Structure 1
Amino acid sequence: MDVMRKVSARHSFTVLFHEKPFAGVNGSGKHNNWSLATNTGVNLLSPGKTPMKNLQFLTFFINTIKAVYKHEELIRATIASASNDHRLGANEAPPAIISVFIGSQLTNVLDELEKVTDGKLSPQEKTDLKLNVVGKIPEVILDNTDRNRTSPFAFTGNKFELRAVGSTANCANPMTVLNAIVADQLIEFKQEVDSLIKDKKLKKDEAIFNVLREYIKDSKKIRFEGDGYGDAWEKEAKKRGLSNNKTTPTALKAKVSKQTLELFERLNIMSKVESEARYEIEVEEYAMRIQIEGRLLGDIARNHVIPTAIKYQNTLIENVQGLKEIYGKDFKKIAKEQMNIIESISEHIEKINAGITDMTDARKKANNEKNAEKTAAAYCDNVKPFFDIIRYHCDKLELLVDDEIWPLTKYRELLFTR
């Protein structure tokens, strides 16, 4: 991002990094590649060539999935922004529902591991497990685990990818949260394994397998291999109890939930006061961004779009008056299309003006809210909906008004003009 800013400045450009600057045209975001390594450089999420190496892999692999399942709302909160809301689920980005994609082979591995009987493993079970499950993991290759581009959190061979981060975002926020939730999960895992070894007298491998099996069962709802864009997934995710926070004000609430506050305090990352302060800054930033966009939209519509439409409308009126002078009472038949365009322009101008007036009133009410959270919610629910209404009628005028006098750059000019 720093390089792009410097290069653009040298060429008198500004890089916006907006996730979805143009409706109907693919936006942009980031894929955050994440893995865990030892201090000697061993990747803990890389499948090994021996059963014991793969037990290590399974441990960190399954714990990561469990951590994501437990804190999926918090992960969604880390990618929330006014501009990224436009991109999520927009056919080039994952949806607002957080799910984990691991591919068919690893799904089969976890399904087999889930079937292992409770308690101590018999010698036969231990042998079967190592041969049939753990021993097969090296066959997994990256190409077999990276097929689903609609997944927000996917395993890709020896790492996970968080694919929903916005192009304007600083990656530190989601990466800090991912590190925190996995660290917390590994602490819990260690405690559970130690408890089984001490209380149930299980051997280390057996204790690990027993805990991992329960984690697989617990976190199964977060795993999804299908199309993340479809309505069917929204319905299925709701049945599974997964969150679907489509707007930033809704998503950000997870940052000050009891679970999140306790997580950050437990790991000495942030105090409650620090977490709440950051939350307030983010909701305030959201409201200010929507406010600025609303003001800008009103300015463009009233000072550029409407005057140009009226100018073209006057040209058409002059044309109709000329036809009336020539053809007399028969002019309506000859000037029918021009008169239809004149009426259409008036209708769109009326809708734009009414939309801007209503949007301004909603903005004033939002500004009178007592706290930042309510202000952000008001901007999201009551101000932002007018953007689409105003935009729709501006786009219609763009198609009606003479191209020679239209003051703004059109899509085809942005995409194809050299």
Structure 2
Amino acid sequence: MTKGIERLGALPLTRRAALVGLAGGVSALSMPWIARAQEEAIRIGFPTPLTGPFAAEANDQVRSAELAVKLANEKGGIAGRKVELLVRDDKLNAGEAATRTLELIEKDKVHAIVGALSSAVQLAVNEVTRARNMLYISISQSDTINEVKDFSPYTFHEALNPHMTTAVVAKHTFQKGSKVAYLVADYAYGHEMLRGFKRAAEAIGAETVGEILHPFGAPDYSTFIPSILSMRPDILCICNFGRDQANSLKQAVDFGVKDQMKIVVPVLLHNQRIAVDAEVFEGVVGGANYYWGQEETVPSAKAFNDAFRNAYDGAVPTDYGAYGYTSVASLLMAIEAAGGTDTQKVIAALEALKYDVAKGEQYYRQCDHQSVQSVLVLEAKAKADMMSDVDLFKIVANEPAAESILRSCSELGFSN
């Protein structure tokens, strides 16, 4: 099982002495517990689906999280302590995720949990962490985790959420009078994206002409396509994730759907685009939290990309992979600001944190701990327009970080 643990060598003697030195010249040798406390590694638990239909995105998250740990350790650690990332396979199963999270807390004695790549799985992780007063940063899209019934002071949400994602994508693809049909994965991710799109459509004045639910991991989408065509929409929104995105798009293109309507997705996935021919995705528009091409205008994206290239033989980070980096990097910044791993101090530091590690400034909103951040709108390029194998998308828009694209705190159930 991949553990992805980065280790730092022993600190120089002078630095170690500085860390444990006490007023009055008391030697660390006379109080060895002080030295042990200072040298104890900062352990971050990282449950994610290393196997299954989201494995490509999950493994990218691990690589980016490991990079954040590696860079921190190369600079001497955080608050004088090395950092370790303990990765566990949650197998995209809520029960498995809860078990692995509990082990990370009780057996491995982690100081915080980051991870999960499914709406349902992250809620299971959140149940375990909040019951044990354990800090948790979720890195999967979810609206529910921000609502008061699932929120706790220990819960932070680094990922975009479906409401903000669909609001921005709809702004740049829907028009007043547009007729929109939906093909939706029948689980939380699909349902929340559908709700967000329909809400945005109503505000814009677009018309919903029909919606079709499909099972998770459906091997055949051909049975849904005649119904979609009969609706005669201007836009087809395909709301699914992972392999489902590539498979459904491929079959839709095979049946000529793209010749009759615009195809929009809430999240345009790097890994699914490279899994099929460019012509399958060509012209498809969708949202994203990150695209490596931002490096032309965003200095922190350039720095992140360069570090990733140096660590991984010239590869570039992916969209969902970037969540692994931004979440762990922000957590480590908060631990450094707090002067250690005391949970209450780290929570306070996260709540006060302004961070720009990959995509421009972000911060966690006070009421629900949602990361306020920019949202990209991308369009998949034709093969003839690609300058390299990773030149996949054109940036249509980069909506700046703003609380106005979030649901209000009162709507989420918070009193203030």
TM-score of the aligned structures, taking structure 2 as reference length:
0.22
Q: Which has the higher strand share?
A: 2
Rg (Cα) greater in structure: 1
TM-score of the aligned structures, taking structure 1 as reference length:
0.22
Q: Which has the higher helix share?
A: 1
